[in-house]
């Protein structure tokens, strides 16, 4: 056996044991049989750790010559394989379906009892490297020469994965903080990505306690530490708040005309431009271009009503803008009345300004007055960032119109889990003693009993009207009604101005309680876009008096027709009938969401329309043309399994069609996933990404297209690898370029497929680097390859664990990584 003699091998003749071999592997015995008899000889050997196949032969007894005894000799070469058993457990319990690799080659999975028997002929002289792995467990690895028959005990431990998420919150929007340094027991581990996430994998002894520290200079807190037990899945979240306030992102949506029968479009455009020029001279505000803002609002399908009542905090628009300005221009016998309103992402009106201009030549001056008034009255927010000799340093200064004597409301943060600010409570007031460009110093003016000033407390600049000062308890109730003559009702959101200063707005009941001084005369202006403003002089003699006012509605006559006809008409969600609507319906002046729908074959037409003339005529040449809904047709074909029908539908959109980008993105996915036509997929993805109208949205709406384009280039490179190595290298390089872009913009991936898109981005990026190295053999690429595979495993989405398709990808990834893991310098 294996060229060596085998002692004690059992020898059987015709089924009967005749003896065993000696120390030289030899057996000799006598046998009496008649000539012509067939004799069967079998040699067997049992040896622990070996599987030895019995050797068997037969021969015919010959007629001996001259009475001599014939000799029959045989060389019995026993064929043997060896084996050892791996017994895989976790805390004494068997682990089934664990993958076993021998010298990086998979040899099988453990059975229900956690065992795998490995058969082999001979082990290499250097021994073998055994690896046992299973998702959710730390990998076990050992190099040696297990003797045949050994039961090798493998104790797996659950892999500990620590997910660290660094977050911040501004203007009600929570987002990740990139670049937060993570250290474990004083050793740098890494930094959070653009989503604020860092994943740390630990394969050591479970239960080990370590100190986890997060460092984020320029935030509150700047350092944070906690003790973590490394066992199972550990999630750590922490909120960080910037010391230096960011510029408030402000977009001016539109300025509309508010006088029926008067064409104020040019005036409104002049006013919008003038306000933008004046407002964005101040560095505390950062302009969101109107075109970008309108495109984002349209894409989010938000109405003006929604923005000004419920806000956009819970919509994708929050990524673009913190505050939206709406404007209105009306004309009366004194000239132009200009109103500007500032809305937060929660839909709260926090400031409104009114000003006048004699004519268009005075608009620029009026806009300058509006911007200056905003700076003087805006409730800017800051943070206490340091304590210095009994004074408190605030992170806002002169650019925020902070100066000596500025009064600040002091609020303490109420923090929930992970240090998130869940609210604020007023604790006192500060007064500024010195202001610089970057910050200011303040002293306590008033502090409630039991409270103190802490680093991280928020301050809000106090700006109050003279009649709102403490002690002024007298007020007047203003009640506003409005609507068509036969349908007047309490009118909410009417802005109240006293002596041209905003005093508040009417509530849902059409009433506003406004502080006043008894016996003092006021110039009252009630203003709401879409209604005729009311101007009046008032004097209040008794606190609590109610004054009632009626605002006449300003309307336009809306006429509309469509192609095809019989389309249902909706204005701000209210049904008006079906096209053609030639006699018209009265609609209040202002911005309204108009929607026409004609059934499944056609795409709904939906736009925010400004009603600013006596007649809004959408008939004749101006009628609304509804386009075919190729997305719906294509999606329906996909559901039926009609891939060619889907291709035809998506390809039917030309560049003038509003769904061109989305349709051709879906077309490219079909070419990539269903047809394996990587050239066509690449062409369609690049067409979508190169369109001018996508320039502002390219890394948002179509961020995942970069993942798909990178995938297509990777597949192209794989096809070329054998016949055109240079072409393959170019394709892999293009794949890496596009996948890197996708990696930098993962926050814009669609929520419904976020985990799958994230997986594919890291997976194909690692594959592209790996294949580029294989076709070029450039050692300089090895570090990139190793890093890409490490990131793939570090950022493997938890929600995809256990799903067969992605687990197979992960197993393949491990094999690829094992090829290069120990080669990088």
Q: What is the C-alpha separation between 625 and 567, in angstroms, rounded?
A: 10
For residues 750-772, give the mean pLDDT: 92
Residues 252 and 362 in one domain: yes
Residue 471's pLDDT is what? Answer: 46
pLDDT tens for each residue of 604-650? 999 889 898 889 999 999 999 999 989 988 998 999 999 999 999 99
Please report which confidence band the pLDDT of residue 398 belongs to, taking 50, 70 and 90 as the band edges.
very high
Q: Are residues 505 and 608 in the same domain?
A: no
What confidence category does residue 698 fall into, taking pLDDT thresholds of 50, 70 and 90? Answer: low
> Residue 467 is encoded by which pair of tokens?
């009649």
Domain boundary residue among 196, 214, 242? 242
Could you give the CA distance from residue 494 to residue 699 in angstroms, rounded to a whole number? 40
Split at pLDDT 50, 70, 90, the class of 825 is very low
Confidence of residue 338 (pLDDT cuts 50, 70, 90): very high
Q: How far apart are CA 34 and CA 811, in angstroms?
A: 64
pLDDT tens digits along 427-436: 999 999 999 9
Higher local confidence (pLDDT), 232 or 315:
315
Q: What is the mean pLDDT of residues 416-444?
A: 87
Within a domain: residue 669? no
Residue 469 has pLDDT above 50, yes or no: yes
The alpha carbon of 115 is separated from its chain's Cα centroid by a whole number of angstroms, namely 42
Residue 538: count of CB within 10 angstroms of its CB: 16
| DSSP secondary structure of 404-461 | TT-EEEEEEEEE-GGG-EEEEEEEEEEEEEEE-SS-EEEEEEEE-TT----TT-EEEE
What Å distances lie between residue 4 and 81, 354, 638, CA to CA? Answer: 14, 106, 67
CA gap 114, 312 in Å, rounded: 54
Handedness of CA 580, 584, 587, 590 (dihedral sign): positive
Domain match, 809 and 730 both: yes
Closest CA to 317 of 344, 339, 342: 344
Most confidently modeled range among 343-347, 467-471, 522-526: 522-526
What H or E segment, with its residue span, contains residue 294?
Answer: helix 290-299
The domain in which residue 113 lies consists of: 81-155
Residue 472 has pLDDT above 60, yes or no: no
CB 674 within 8 A of CB 643: yes
Average pLDDT over residues 418-445: 89
Is residue 699 scored above 60 in pLDDT?
no
Same domain? For 134 and 196 the reply is no
**By the 8 A CB rule, do 47 and 31 touch?**
no
> Are residues 124 and 28 both part of a single domain?
no
Share of the chain above pLDDT 70, in %: 97
Total domains in the chain come to 8
CB within 8 A of 190, min separation 6: which ones? 181, 182, 198, 200
Q: How far apart are the C-alpha atoms of 54 and 9, rounded to whole Å?
A: 10
Exposed/middle/buried for residue 493 (C-beta within 10 Å: 0-12, 13-18, 19+): middle
Q: What is the CATH number of the domain that holds 129?
A: 2.60.40.10
Which of 599, 625, 651 delimits the end of a domain? 625
Judged against a pLDDT cut of 90, whether residue 798 lies above it is answered with no
pLDDT digits (tens, 9 = 90+) for 638-652: 999 999 999 999 999
CA 498 to chain centre: 46
Domain of 366: which CATH number?
3.40.50.10070
Q: Contact, 314 vs 286, CB < 8 A?
A: no
Is the domain of 372 the same as that of 262? yes
Phi, psi of 668, rounded to the nearest 5 degrees: -60, -40
What percent of the chain has pLDDT above 90?
A: 57
Classify the C-alpha dihedral 686-691-695-698 as positive or negative.
negative
Give the per-residue pLDDT at 63.
83
Residue 736 dihedral angles phi and psi, to the nearest 5°:
-60, -45
Apex 408 CA angle, 176 and 325, nearest 5: 60
Average pLDDT on 338-358 reads: 93
Same domain for 17 and 86, yes or no, is no
What ranges make up the beta strands (E) of 240-370? 241-242, 248-257, 285-287, 323-332, 335-344, 349-357
β-pair partners for 239: 167
Complete DSSP assignment for 192-217: --TTSEEEEEE-S-TTEEEEEEEE-T
pLDDT band at 170 (very low <50, low <70, confident <90, very high): low
Whether the pLDDT of residue 227 is over 60: the answer is: yes
Q: What CATH number is associated with residue 392?
A: 2.40.10.410
What local confidence, expressed as pLDDT, does residue 372 receive? 93
Task: Return mean pLDDT, the chain.
Answer: 89
Q: Is residue 445 part of a domain?
A: yes
Residues 128 and 103: their CA atoms lie apart, in Å, by: 6
Query: Is residue 687 included in any domain, yes or no?
Result: no
pLDDT at residue 618, rounded to an integer: 96
pLDDT confidence of 687, banded at 50, 70, 90?
A: confident
- Least confident range of 106-120, 191-205, 487-501, 690-704: 690-704
- Give whole-number Cα distances, 743 to 119, 175, 706, 781, 792, in Å: 44, 17, 9, 19, 11
Residue 526, in any domain of the structure: yes
User: Are residues 623 and 560 in contact, defined by beta-carbon separation less than 8 angstroms?
Assistant: yes
Average pLDDT over residues 191-213: 86
- What average pLDDT does this structure show over 665-693? 88
Across residues 39-65, what is the average pLDDT?
90
Boundary of a domain, candidates 596, 625, 654: 625
């Amino acid at each position: 056996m294996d060229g060596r003699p085998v002692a004690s091998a059992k020898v059987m003749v015709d089924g009967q044991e005749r003896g065993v071999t000696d120390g030289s592997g030899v057996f000799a015995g006598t046998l009496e049989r008649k000539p012509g008899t067939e004799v069967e000889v079998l040699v067997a050997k049992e040896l622990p750790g070996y599987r030895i196949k019995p050797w068997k032969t037969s021969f015919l007894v010959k007629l001996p010559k001259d009475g001599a005894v014939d000799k029959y000799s045989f060389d019995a070469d026993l064929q043997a394989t060896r084996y050892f058993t791996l017994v895989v457990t976790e805390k004494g319990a068997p682990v089934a379906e664990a993958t076993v690799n021998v010298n990086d080659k998979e040899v099988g999975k453990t059975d229900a009892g956690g065992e795998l028997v490995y058969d082999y002929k001979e082990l290499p002289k250097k021994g073998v490297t055994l690896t046992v792995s299973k998702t959710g467990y730390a990998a076990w690895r050992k190099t040696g020469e297990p003797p045949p028959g050994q039961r090798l005990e493998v104790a797996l431990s659950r892999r500990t994965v620590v997910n660290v998420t660094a977050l911040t919150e501004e203007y009600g929007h929570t987002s990740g903080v990139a670049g937060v340094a993570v250290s474990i027991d004083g050793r740098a581990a890494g930094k959070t990505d653009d989503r604020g996430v860092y994943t740390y994998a630990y394969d050591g002894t479970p239960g080990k306690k370590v100190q986890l520290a997060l460092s984020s200079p320029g935030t509150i807190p700047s350092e944070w530490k906690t003790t973590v037990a490394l066992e199972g899945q550990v999630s750590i979240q922490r909120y960080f708040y910037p010391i230096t306030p960011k510029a408030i992102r402000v977009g001016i949506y539109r300025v509309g005309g508010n006088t029926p029968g008067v064409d104020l479009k040019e005036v409104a455009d002049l006013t919008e431009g003038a306000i933008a020029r004046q407002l964005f001279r101040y560095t505390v505000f950062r302009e969101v271009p109107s075109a970008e803002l309108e495109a984002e609002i349209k894409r989010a399908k938000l109405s003006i009503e929604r923005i000004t009542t419920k806000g956009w905090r819970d919509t994708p628009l929050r990524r673009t803008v913190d505050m939206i300005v709406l404007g209105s221009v009306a004309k009366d016998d004194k000239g132009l009345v200009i109103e500007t309103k500032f809305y937060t992402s929660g839909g709260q009106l926090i400031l409104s300004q009114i000003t006048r201009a004699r004519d268009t030549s005075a608009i620029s001056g009026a806009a300058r007055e509006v911007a200056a008034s905003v700076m003087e009255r805006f409730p800017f927010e800051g943070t206490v960032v340091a304590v210095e000799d009994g004074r408190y340093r605030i992170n806002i200064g002169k650019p925020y119109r902070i100066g000596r004597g500025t009064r600040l409301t002091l609020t303490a943060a109420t923090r929930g889990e992970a240090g998130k600010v869940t609210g604020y409570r007023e604790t006192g007031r500060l007064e500024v003693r010195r202001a610089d460009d970057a910050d200011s110093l303040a002293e306590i003016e008033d502090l409630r009993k039991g409270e103190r000033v802490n680093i991280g407390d928020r301050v809000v600049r106090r700006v109050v009207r003279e009649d709102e000062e403490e002690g002024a308890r007298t007020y007047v109730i203003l009640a506003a009604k409005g609507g068509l003559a036969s349908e007047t009702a309490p009118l909410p959101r009417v802005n109240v101005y006293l002596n041209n200063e905003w005093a508040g707005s009417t509530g849902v009941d059409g009433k506003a309680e406004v502080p006043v001084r008894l016996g003092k005369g006021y110039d009252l202006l009630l203003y709401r876009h879409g209604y005729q403003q009311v101007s009046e002089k008032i004097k209040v003699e008794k606190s609590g008096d109610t004054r009632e006012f009626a605002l006449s509605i300003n309307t336009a006559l809306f006429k509309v027709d469509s192609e095809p006809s019989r389309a249902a008409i909706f204005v701000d969600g209210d049904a008006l009938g079906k096209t053609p609507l030639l006699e018209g319906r009265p609609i209040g002046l202002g911005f309204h969401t108009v929607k026409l729908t004609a059934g499944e074959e056609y795409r709904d037409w939906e736009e925010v329309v400004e009603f600013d003339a006596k007649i809004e005529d959408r008939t004749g040449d101006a009628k609304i043309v509804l386009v075919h809904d190729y997305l719906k047709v294509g999606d329906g074909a996909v559901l039926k399994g009609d891939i060619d029908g889907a291709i035809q539908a998506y390809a039917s959109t030309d560049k003038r069609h509003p769904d061109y980008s989305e349709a051709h993105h879906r077309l490219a996915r079909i070419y990539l996933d269903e047809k394996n036509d990587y050239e066509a997929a690449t062409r369609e993805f690049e067409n979508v990404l190169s369109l001018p109208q996508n320039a502002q949205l390219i890394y948002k709406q179509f961020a995942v297209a970069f993942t798909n384009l990178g995938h297509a280039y990777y597949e192209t490179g794989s096809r070329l690898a054998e016949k055109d190595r240079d072409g393959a290298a170019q394709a892999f390089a293009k794949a890496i370029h596009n996948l890197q872009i996708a990696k930098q913009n993962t926050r814009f991936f669609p929520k419904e497929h976020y985990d799958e898109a994230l997986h594919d981005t890291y997976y194909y990026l690692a594959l592209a680097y790996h294949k580029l190295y294989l076709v070029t053999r450039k050692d300089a690429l090895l570090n990139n390859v190793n890093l890409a595979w490490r990131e793939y495993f570090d950022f493997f989405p938890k929600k995809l664990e256990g799903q067969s398709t992605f687990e197979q990808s992960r197993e393949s990834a491990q094999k690829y990584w094992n090829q290069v893991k120990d080669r990088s310098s």
